[in-house]
Amino acid sequence: MKNTFLLLTFVLFGCVRNSLITAQATNDTRLKLIETEYKVKESDVAETLKYLTSDDLEGRETGTKGMVKAADYLEQFFKDNNIKPYFSSYRDTLSNFKTPAFNIVGYVEGNDPALKNEFVIISGHYDHIGIDKKGVNGDFINNGANDDASGTTAVAEMAKYFSSVKNNKRSILFVFFAGEEKGLLGSKHLAKKLKAQNFNLYAQFNIEMIGVPMKRNYLAYITGFDKSNMAGKINEYTGKNTIGFLPKEAEYQLFYRSDNYSFYNVFKVPCQSVSTFDFENFEFYHHVSDEFKVMNLPHMTSFIQELLPAVTQMANTPTHEIHMN
């Protein structure tokens, strides 16, 4: 009888285990199918990027009318793509800036009863430095295409993806920061605010300056490469050498110079920025010639497409596979 019971238990356990494995395999297959079938459109990338870099926005300096126009556009983008506001409205007013300015914050709720209480943040800053009083060859507007309309556009496309396919177990917060160029003000404000609300942050993936490609054997780099295992996990998720180590990033300590740091400083979890600006491939940093016409749209489109498997897995792994080193 005892042997029969043990045999029955073993058989039942084996059946349950095989069912779980089958379910996991089915889910993984479904996710990979979604990632393969979903296509980022270059025309959509161009539409968002072209508006954000238009002269009408006058360089999107925080606190100006141009910044408000950009915010209006991004808020409407969220509405059009069924991305809900995380707070009572999409506008998160900065508490650390003298004139009215705001982050734009939306989210897609997770579909897992437990994991939906954890969040991944996908972010970029939509502000820039505004008008150059001296100008260059009669051009006075710092349009900020690479810095960081390119990253803002990527965040928008990723938000559209998750809202469309609805395949995230964790909830995802999509944030367009203001005040980055003023000293990371938007991210400092929001990190402090969310921490006070016991926000459960798994990781932040911040996108900064991805408008032109690098001539290297990897697509992009992340800041603070050795601070977590994020780079390795992204490469595992994409199945490619997507993220590499850029020595200049470490030399200039870029980890501390973008909105990822504000969240790392408060939450002490993996919060890193991804970029393709390597100090050799773009000569118009904070320059009036950082315009739409010098952005590489095919590169931006393929960049977003290639990162979809990575952000999908960030939102779906049952455990915290990405962790601090």
pLDDT tens readout for residues 114-129: 999 999 999 999 999 9
Cα distance between residue 205 and residue 258, in whole Å = 11
Quick: pLDDT tens for 49-80.
Answer: 999 999 999 999 999 999 999 999 999 999 99
Task: Estimate to the nearest angstrom the gap between the alpha carbon of 82 and the chain centroid.
Answer: 18
Question: Does the pLDDT value for residue 9 go beyond 90?
Answer: no
Question: Does the pLDDT value for residue 288 go beyond 90?
Answer: yes
The tokens for 126 are 């939509």
163, with CB counted inside 10 A (0-12, 13-18, 19+), is buried
Cα distance between residue 52 and residue 144, in whole Å = 8
What's the pLDDT at 15?
44
Q: Are 143 and 72 in contact (CB under 8 A)?
A: no
- Please report, rounded to a whole number, the percentage of residues in the chain having pLDDT higher than 70: 89
- The tally of CA atoms less than 13 A away on the side-chain side of residue 183 is 4
DSSP 244: E
What's the pLDDT at 34?
55
DSSP 103-131: EEEEEE--SSTTGGGSEEEEEEE--B--E
Mean pLDDT of the chain: 92
Contacts of 249 (CB under 8 A, 6+ apart): 221, 222, 223, 225, 255, 275
- Please report, rounded to a whole number, the percentage of residues in the chain having pLDDT higher than 90: 87
Q: Are 154 and 311 in contact (CB under 8 A)?
A: no
Q: Which CATH number applies to 41-314: 3.40.50.20, 3.30.70.380, 3.40.630.10, 3.40.462.40?
A: 3.40.630.10
Quick: pLDDT tens for 169-214.
Answer: 999 999 999 999 999 999 999 999 999 999 999 999 999 999 999 9
Tokens 């494995």 belong to 21
Boundaries of every domain in the chain? 1-37, 41-314
Q: Are 169 and 90 in contact (CB under 8 A)?
A: no
Quick: pLDDT tens for 262-285.
Answer: 999 999 999 999 999 999 999 999
Top pLDDT among 251 and 22 is at 251
Cα distance between residue 97 and residue 117, in whole Å = 30
Q: What length does the chain have?
A: 325
What's the pLDDT at 1?
44
- The tally of CA atoms less than 13 A away on the side-chain side of residue 254 is 25
